[in-house]
Chain A
Amino acid sequence: MFDTRVFSGAAVDQAAQERQWVARCREGDETALSSLIARHRNRLVRTATNLLRDRHEAEDVAQEAFLKGFREIHKLREDRAFSGYLYKICVRLCMDRLRLKRAELTEFDSVQPHEGGTVENRVVIEKLLAQLPYELRATLVLREMEQLSYDEVAEVMHVPIGTVRSRLHTARERFRKLWIEAVGE
């Protein structure tokens, strides 16, 4: 689904190139593997960082997603579907970690600040997101931070689009309430 958008010019070349890389990967070509990693790692690490709010954990998840993607590359029916497939693996791995993290947070309830421009804002957002159930959190992040469409969120999370709508509605409302409590608006 992620690659079915209308491509033009350079994007078409990129798609064709990616198909070649995937085909070469199937034959065990390491140069093609490196090229695919270089192309997709930024997006995967960024998404994982947004979902997990931890840079190092995000890199681990991205690596795990690449390993799983390459291991199962033979199962792909369409070479052009690789990027979406990889993205789905990454999001699902993040959700698995969030599910485990939720239990940890109830015990320790600690949030580490990150480096970056708007540190205070990020720390507050991180604390607020940590209070949401992982399905709501992932849905909200994928829609608002990753700017995915409803269809894309539904596909990545493997749920019907109606569920995405209702989760987003609940997530926005709960996030608003948490935000008001935090900032005292």
Chain B
Amino acid sequence: MSVRLFGCSKYQRLSNEKFDRTLSLAEREFLAKHRSVCSECRMRESQSSNALNMLRMAAFDDEVQDSFEPQFEERILRKLRVQSTRESVRYWSPAFVGAMIAGLAVLATLQLVPNRPSLPSSNRPEGTAYRTRGERLPTLDINKLDRIR
């Protein structure tokens, strides 16, 4: 038969606080005294202690270390390489796109400019040697030379 006494809530509060701080002598004495007379608190404390012990025992510790995936490290390094490549592509891609657009614009401009002589014939400086398509060079006729003489 369990017996619940006055002071059980204080006992529970202190038994929880003992995890957080060092209890004073008076508080420790109260816990010991109450524990000796209150079966319900004793049982509750024992249950709590068992449950937490089982929880601690279920922790994974050193056994984890022996069974790593063989490519654990390699996978991280590979992902890091991929990540850094992606980041550099992401960083440089606006510049590449800009350069491509500029290049295309230059090409388009060159294509659109009409292909004609840059200067009209009247503007050519005197004495400039030039040759146009279809224009014949003067020929030297020997018969005409004799007549002149």
Contact = CB atoms under 8 A, between A and B. Distances in A.
Main secondary structure of the interface of B (DSSP, over half): helix
A42 B62 CA distance: 8
Interface stretch (A14-22, A80-88, A99-107, A175-183): A175-183
A97 interface: no
Contacts, number: 94
Chain A interface bracket (under 10, 10 to 19, 20 to 34, 35 or more): 35 or more
Contacts of B48: 172-173, 176
A169 B52 CA distance: 12
Interface in B9-48: 16, 19-20, 44, 47-48
Given A30-B77, A165-B20, A175-B51, A49 B72 contact: no
By CB atoms of chain A within 10 A, which of B47, B61, B64 has the most? B64
A150 B77 CA distance: 34
A96 B84 CA distance: 25
Nearest to B56: A144
A150 B17 CA distance: 12
Given A70-B80, A185-B47, A179 B54 contact: yes
Contacts of B61: 46
A140 B55 contact: yes
13 contacts: A42-B65, A49-B60, A55-B60, A55-B64, A67-B79, A71-B83, A116-B60, A117-B63, A121-B54, A122-B58, A144-B59, A165-B20, A175-B55
Interface of B: 16, 19-20, 44, 47-48, 50-52, 54-61, 63-65, 67-69, 72-73, 75-77, 79-80, 83-84
